Amino acid sequence: MPSTSAVLADELGGALGKYPLRAAAMATVAGVAATTGPSGTVSVAVAAGKQAAGASKGGKSSGSIAPVSSSIAASGDHGVTPIGTPLVDIGANLLDPMFQGEYREKPRHQADLPAVLRRAKDAGVGQIMVTAGSLQEARDALTFCRAREEGWPELICTVGVHPTRCGEFEEFADGPDAYLAALLACGREACAQNGGGVLCGAVGECGLDYDRLQFCPKDVQLRYFERQLEGLAVPLGLPLFLHCRTADAAADLLAILKKHRASLPETPGVVHSFDGRLEDAEEFIKLGFFIGLNGCSLRTAENLD
């Protein structure tokens, strides 16, 4: 059975314990946080606090990057040794059918998500942010977080629409404004005190993806990314969990974020699964954003350079 859980073990010198978990969920823990995708891939969100940071050729730093001790352990049948400080998974696609045992629309094994979450907790994961990419997923993520069981990490969620799915705004029966209003209502519900804790950590996954325009045209992505900033992120006062694909998308994303930067939180969020140029990463970091690196960030020779 394929592994569906992984953890990144870092020597953070106890930095995680100094911040509330909700803040840590947006990678404010000494500039480093882990994320796992549905296949167990691991990401690291990197920033340099008050200094510029970014990886350059040869793995050297162009600034000051928070230290990462690269120890990765897959949590499969053999388990792992828990670390001393709790980790935060800032981008877990736990709504993926894979966790119900379904791969490429075919059943492969019994649903194992509760077991995955227990292993994650045992391995030292203190909190997980469940990623949503549509109105229905935002509702499902909130419902899932409310159903958290004993022995699982703490759960929070995102609310927002993935760039490749922004067509849903215009396909919604009551129109785009009603779709956005429903997203905002879901976000406000998740931001209310739910049994003593706030269950929404960020707006997203949203952004721009020019690599897959067959799913949603560029003009639609641009229109509804900005609508989500104005009508969702600003009213909720939440940081952004951003998606960005291609250099052209990065340029457009930067222009929009600069336009709205004053309306966003002091720590505005993270550019997840970044695969762009060093120069683009530095511009995002100058705006206060963190950069998330994972397997998608390193999939081509151009990305590695």
Contact (Cβ atoms closer than 8 angstroms) between residue 4 and residue 99: yes
Half-sphere exposure of 179 (CA within 13 A, CB side): 20
CA 287/CA 50 separation, integer angstroms: 11
Side chain identity at 137, as an amino acid letter? E
CA 6/CA 294 separation, integer angstroms: 13
pLDDT score at 214: 96
Contact (Cβ atoms closer than 8 angstroms) between residue 236 and residue 187: yes
CA 272/CA 183 separation, integer angstroms: 21
pLDDT score at 261: 96
For the chain, which residues score pLDDT lower than 50? 1-81
pLDDT score at 212: 93
pLDDT score at 157: 95
CA 76/CA 6 separation, integer angstroms: 8
pLDDT score at 63: 24
Give 87's DSSP letter.
Answer: E
pLDDT score at 82: 53
Question: Which residue in the block uniquely carries the two structure tokens 């505005």?
Answer: 268
pLDDT score at 275: 82
Q: Report which of 143, 89, 158, 147 is spatially closest to residue 119, judged by C-alpha positions.
A: 89
Question: Which residue in the block uniquely carries the two structure tokens 């340099």?
Answer: 48
Tokens of 36: 């796992």
